[in-house]
Amino acid sequence: MPETPQRTDGPAGWLDRVEARDGATAWNRAVPSDGDAPWDCPEGASRHHSSAPAYAGIGRPHSPDSRGPDSRNPAPRTPELWPAASGFIRAHHAEERLGDPAARLAEAYAEIADTGTYRHTERELTFGARVAWRNANRCIGRLYWNSLHVRDRRHLTAAEDIAAACADHLREASQGGRIRPLITVFAPDAPDRPGPRIWNEQLIRYAGYVQRDGRVVGDPRNEGLTALARRLGWRGGDGTPFDVLPLIVQGTDDKPRCFDLPPDAVLEVPIEHEDHDWWAGLRLRWHAVPALSTMCLEIGGICYQAAPFNGWYMGTEIGARNLADTDRYDLLPRIAERLGLDTTSDRSLWKDRALVELNRAVLFSFDRAGVTVTDHHTESRRFLTHLDREERKGRTVGADWSWIVPPISGSATPVFHRTYDTTQRTPAYVQHPEALARASGEFLV
């Protein structure tokens, strides 16, 4: 399948670091490792849970220095916000060559002093969202960070409007199969009110129905969210293993509510195999757009708790994790049996052989459907290209080896045979513990 052309080059001469006039380091500021929770490439949250602390709307302090651009002005109500805000503004002006940031700094400082927060310009929002992807230590697909399209929906706060905008996001991202990297940013948290929340881990999730004997029909990962949706009034789907869950959205100062996704917003791919006709009888499928929706976009101290975003799938995320993990769809025993493999001993490598065929089926099916997908060998090479480009621009690339190395054939890929800087930088996509609790249905309503 021909690759989707993407813009992959940033302006020449982008700077990595710039020293702020007040002495605080302004660019690519490192944050503590225990706050590590950047762009989980689709399905990534199934590996680890972050221990990052919760933030009440204004973000963590990044520097003890809270001085503003003019020492004659009173200190802001929230002095911990200013270092993060000023560092981001300086970084934005330096990297995009926007000239002296003094006027913008003064404007933001006055707004923080008056209201306790400040509003990003559309250009700042776009820059911050893209750099957050560039800073995502757990994502292998960052070569295309500068192609991320940003939809500014900060004016929306009502649950029904947010749900409709999420459906539009999926339509725009899918493009009939030519998947587009996209983020939709809703209202941020503020000192006097929380922003909206999307409870689903991804905009498209499959239900997990717990049976009386304890078995789960569908995705066991989503059994808690499925039960919560039922308590909120969802009647359930057809009872298949691939029933699409409704969106659970909480507007500003509102309770969570359920909204069914329109069928035209959910692009799915039937999973078949090019060599085995019986594979179609398994009736497998998976959705085409991996739109993460519980991660917080943190830019310059501002927390956008509702900011769903997507790239496109790497085949192993579906074939080696979602459909294969024993705590997910656990399909390897069933596939091995149909392949006639000896499952009485692990030494027959029946799991490995079934896993390869399952991943072949995913890639074949997406290609036949004309839906963008990448394989782990290609994406590993692209990641090294990304490293090389960033290093030539003077920027250090952070990465988590355990997430960058693919879940199958790791040593056969070039990303396996090296180490990485694990420092997490901001802006960033962060997974807060309470968001994970909402996605698992643990919050009571």
Report the percent of the chain where pLDDT is more than 90.
Answer: 80
Res 9 pLDDT > 90: no
Parallel, antiparallel or unpaired: strands 197-198 and 208-210: unpaired
By the 8 A CB rule, do 63 and 87 touch?
yes
What's the rounded Cα separation, in Å, for the pair 388 and 356? 30
pLDDT in tens, 206-228: 999 999 999 999 999 999 999 99
Is 96 one of the catalytic residues? no
Question: Given 138, 142, 197, 438, which residue is catalytic?
Answer: 142
Please enumerate in sequence order all residues whose Cβ is within 8 A of that of 341, keeping only pairs 6 or more positions apart, or say none: 348, 350, 353, 354
Residue 218's beta-bridge partner residues? Answer: 208
Token output for 356: 């390869």
What's the rounded Cα separation, in Å, for the pair 441 and 1? 39
Average of pLDDT values for 40-64? 31
What's the rounded Cα separation, in Å, for the pair 35 and 51? 6
Question: Given 139, 166, 258, 303, which residue is catalytic?
Answer: 139
Res 34 pLDDT > 70: no
Peptide bond into 79 cis (omega under 30): no
Write the DSSP string, 193-236: B---EE-SSBSS-B-EEEPTTS-EEE-GGGHHHHHHHHHTT---
> Which among 13, 41, 27 has a CA at the least distance from the CA of 382?
41
Average of pLDDT values for 370-374? 98
Is 27 one of the catalytic residues? no
Question: Given 272, 317, 357, 379, which residue is catalytic?
Answer: 317
pLDDT in tens, 418-444: 999 999 999 999 999 999 999 998 865
Write the DSSP string, 118-132: ----HHHHHHHHHHH
Q: What pLDDT sits at residue 78?
A: 61
What predicted TM-score, i.e. pTM, was given to this entire model? Answer: 0.83
Question: Given 312, 321, 328, 382, which residue is catalytic?
Answer: 312
Is 298 one of the catalytic residues? no
The residue ranking higher by pLDDT, 78 or 259, is 259
Is 317 one of the catalytic residues? yes
What's the rounded Cα separation, in Å, for the pair 286 and 216? 18
Parallel, antiparallel or unpaired: strands 256-259 and 302-304: unpaired
